[in-house]
């Protein structure tokens, strides 16, 4: 019989092996996340442009201020990959950024890339677990996580850790895959939908998804002010303001 801890260790090993594959960087570049696309656009932007658009849309939707007196001073990227989003946001705001990831390969590449961009003093990376963040309570003005929650076995603990390290008055920005709401005539996913999801999970080390409403409830249980995204199918986040 396998313990929960043993299963989590095995899962983390699979995720580390998956994202240590150099082909991920070849395909995605330094931004290992999806992009933002307008559904009615006549031309499709390249992947890198859409990835930056996603970041900008997330920041805009979260009302992150850009004025010198109110812009964020500290940023934490949970599940940072090789650091593209963190470097972009830290440079945009002139902020100090820390990225955490369970993959030593990702941390090494993130450090190399940020150093090459001249951001070595502003952005740092370290190996850490999203479910056990090695930081003090209330340490970061922005807590940022792009598509990390998809891989985590305990969404309740994930949300608790994001909330714990966010500063009073700070903002948590989360982009993640969620289950859509069932229609009034549906009691569960269709067999072909379950089969498709299972195939996707197995290929990308993804765990059970929860609905956007479930995430909102988890954040509200910590007395967070939640701005759920009104966008569908475009990878735009739920935004949480810490009060």
Residuewise pLDDT in 10s, the chain (243 residues): 445 566 677 777 777 777 777 877 777 778 877 788 777 777 788 888 889 998 998 898 888 887 767 788 999 999 999 999 999 999 999 999 999 999 999 999 999 999 999 999 999 999 999 999 999 999 999 999 998 888 888 999 999 999 999 999 899 999 887 776 666 676 676 777 677 666 666 666 566 777 788 888 999 999 888 876 654 444 444 444 443
Question: Look-up: residue for tokens 């593209």?
Answer: 84
Q: Which residue from 170, 178, 136 is spatially nearest to 240, judged by alpha carbons? A: 170
The reported pLDDT for the residue numbered 229 is 60
How far is Cα 143 from Cα 44, in angstroms, rounded to an integer? 30
CATH of domain 4-29+44-176+213-241: 3.40.50.150
List pLDDT tens digits, range 55-98: 998 898 888 887 767 788 999 999 999 999 999 999 999 999 99
How far is Cα 45 from Cα 210, in angstroms, rounded to an integer? 30
Q: Are 112 and 120 in contact (CB under 8 A)?
A: no
H or E element, residue 123: strand 123-127
Q: What is the CA radius of gyration of the chain?
A: 18
Encode burial over 77-93: b for 16+ CB neighbours within 10 A, e otherwise. Answer: bbbbbbbbbbbbbbbbb
What pTM value is reported for the model? 0.81
H or E element, residue 122: none
CA 93 to chain centre: 19
The reported pLDDT for the residue numbered 238 is 42
Q: Which residue from 129, 175, 113 is spatially nearest to 16, judged by alpha carbons? A: 129
The DSSP line for 171-223 is EEEEE---BPPPPTT-SS--HHHHHHHHHHHHHHT-----BHHHHHHHHHTTT
């Amino acid at each position: 019989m396998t313990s929960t801890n043993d299963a989590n260790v095995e899962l983390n090993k699979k995720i580390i092996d998956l994202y240590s594959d150099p082909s991920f960087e070849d395909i995605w570049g330094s931004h290992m996340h999806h992009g933002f696309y307008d559904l009615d656009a006549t031309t499709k932007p390249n992947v890198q442009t859409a990835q930056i658009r996603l970041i900008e849309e997330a920041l805009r939707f979260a009302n992150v201020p850009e004025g010198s007196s109110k812009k964020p001073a500290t940023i934490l990227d949970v599940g940072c990959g090789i650091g593209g989003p963190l470097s972009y946001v830290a440079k945009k705001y002139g902020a100090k950024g820390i990225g955490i990831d369970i993959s030593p390969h990702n941390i090494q590449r993130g450090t190399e890339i940020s150093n090459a961009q001249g951001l070595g003093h502003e952005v740092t990376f370290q190996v850490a677990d999203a479910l056990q963040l090695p930081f003090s309570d209330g340490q970061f003005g922005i807590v940022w996580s792009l598509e990390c929650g998809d891989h985590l076995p305990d969404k309740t603990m994930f949300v608790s850790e994001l909330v714990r390290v966010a500063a009073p008055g700070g903002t948590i920005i989360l982009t993640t895959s969620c289950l859509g709401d069932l229609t009034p005539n549906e009691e569960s996913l269709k067999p072909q939908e379950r089969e498709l999801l299972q195939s996707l999970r197995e290929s990308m080390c993804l765990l059970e998804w929860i609905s956007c409403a479930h995430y909102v409830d988890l954040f509200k249980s910590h007395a967070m002010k939640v701005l759920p995204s009104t966008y569908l199918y475009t990878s735009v986040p739920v935004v949480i303001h810490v009060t």
